[in-house]
Structure 1
Amino acid sequence: MSARFERFHYLFRSTKGLVLMAISLISLITAIWGTLSGPMVEWGIRDITVRVLGMELLPAQREGRIIMLYHVIAMAVVAIEVYFITSIVPMKKHQQSTINATITFGYITAMIFGLWFGYFGHNFVFHGLFLLGQSMVFFAGVLLAAALWPWKKEYYVTDKEYAHTKKGVDLERVAFFVMTVATLGSAIFGAVTGSYWGNGHETFLAEDLIRETHKTPLQLAIIGHLHIMLTLVAVAITLIVGRWLDFKGAFHKIAMYLMIIGTIVITLGVWSVVPYQAIAHKIIYVG
C-alpha cells in the first residue's frame, strides 16, 4: 500500500512525475492514433484498430476528429510547460500545487472525453466534459498569471547579472507573465471563433485553405489562433530552457527585452489579422 501511495505521490505531486505522465499519455495517443493514417491505411492496420477499439470514423467528420485530437495533445504539451514553469520560477508552494492540480485535472478530462466524443460516438455529454477540461486548463492559466505577477517586491532581482529594471523588477519573470497573458488572450481568440461552430462556421483544416486567396473572418481567426498558440508554446519553451540553463549576463538583459516586446507585438499582430489583414503580417514579422 505504501509503495502505491508513493507511486501516486510521484506521478501527481512531483514535477518529474507529472511531466512523465503527460509525456506517456501523449505517446500512448500517438502510438494508437498514428495507426489511423498514412501507410497504416494501405496495410490494413487502421481497420484492425477501428474494429478492436470500436471507433466510428465517418469520412465527413474527419476534420472535426483531427481538430479534437490535436487540441487534446496540445493541452498536454501546455501542461508540461506549466509544470516546468511552476517548478523553476519562484512562487508560493500552495500556488504551485493548486496550478498543477487544476491543469492536470483539466487536460486529462479534456483528453479522455475529447477523444471519446470524437472517435467513439458523439455523446454530447462527453463534449461538454471536454469543454469543462479546457475551461480548467484556462483557469489554471489564470492562476499561473496571478502567481507570476512580477511587481511583487519579494520577487525582485538581487543578483544584478540577471535582466531587471532600475527598481529591480525581474524582466525574465515579466517575460513569463507576458507569455502567459498572451496565451490566455489567444485561447479566448480561438474560443470566441469556435462558439460559431455550426452557426455560420464550417469545420476545416488550416492546410486546406493555403491556396485560397479569400478567407472569411472566421477562417482567418482560426488560422490566427492556430499560429499564435504554436508561437507562444515556442516562446514558453525558450524561456524555460533559458531559466533551466541559468541564462544571465549582458545577453540575458538584451534577450529579455526582446522576448517581452516581441511576444507583445506578434500577439497583437495575430489578433489584428481579422480586422486588419493587410498589415497584420507586417506586425507579425516585426514581432
Structure 2
Amino acid sequence: MTQLISSEIDQRIENDHRTTAATFLGWPRNEIFRDVIGGGQADFNASIGHLSGDDRALLYAKYNQGRHLDELRHAFARLLGDHGNIARPTVVDLGCGPFTAGLSFAASLGPQEPFRYFGVDRATSMLSLGALLAERAREYGAFHPQTTCWFGDDLGRVDFGPARGEWTLVVASYLLASPTIDVGLLVASILTAVSSIGPGPAAVFYTNSANRNADAKYPTFRDALMQGGFELAVDDVERFADTNKSPKDVHYALLYRPAKTTIQMKGRTNEVAKA
C-alpha cells in the first residue's frame, strides 16, 4: 500500500510541472489544508483558482488519506481478529473518497480472501481517483482475483445482485463531519441497502475525529440505526498513535445486526434475527 500511494499520489504531485519547492501543483503548501481541501470537507467537484476538482482530490489524498488509511487498517485488523470467520463480505463505503476504506480493508483481509466493494461519493473527482487506486491495487496483487469494486454517486441506485448470507460491512468514516449530511436520509439509505444485500450479519463501522463539532451528529446516527435493528457493540475514543502522523483522538463505533432467518407462517414470510 505504501508503494501504491507513493507512485499514484506522491510522485504524481512531485512530477507535476506546477509543483515547486514551496508549492504542490502551484498552490502554497501551508495553505492547502485550509483553502484547497477545507480540512477534508471541500466541494471536490468544484475548481478553485487554477486547481481542478481532480487536482483537489489528489491533494486531499496527499494531506488526509495517509492518516485515515492507518486508522482504518488498525480498526479493521481488530474487527477481523474478532470475527475470523468473515468470508466473501460485502463492503459499502459511504463518502468513500479515494478508495480509503477499500485499501485498508484489502490490506487487513489479505489477497487470499475475496470481497465485494461498493464505494459511494458525491464527488466525481474522488470516484475517479478511487477507481484508479483500485485498478492499481489489483495490479500490485492486493486483491483476490474474485474481488470486485464498484464506484458511484448514489447508494440507492446500486444493484447488489441476488440476496446473500455473508457479512455486510458499511463504513462511515469521517462522513458525519460533513456539515451538509442529512443523518435521517443517510440511515434510511443504509437500512435499505443492508436489506437489499441479504439476510446475513451486518455491521456499521463509524470513525470520526473526537472533536465535539465533527462528532456532533453521531448520537442521532447511532440512535437511528438502533431503532432500525442494530445493536451497539463498540463505542470508544482512542488516542491513535499507530501512524507516522501526529497522535490524534479518534472516535470508533461498531453497530451490529445479527443474521436473519426467514420463516414461512400461514402464507406470509417473517424475518427474525438469529440468536
Name the TM-score class by shorter chain.
under 0.3
- Higher percent of residues as helix: 1
- Higher percent of residues as strand: 2
TM-score by structure 2 length?
Answer: 0.27
TM-score by structure 1 length?
Answer: 0.27
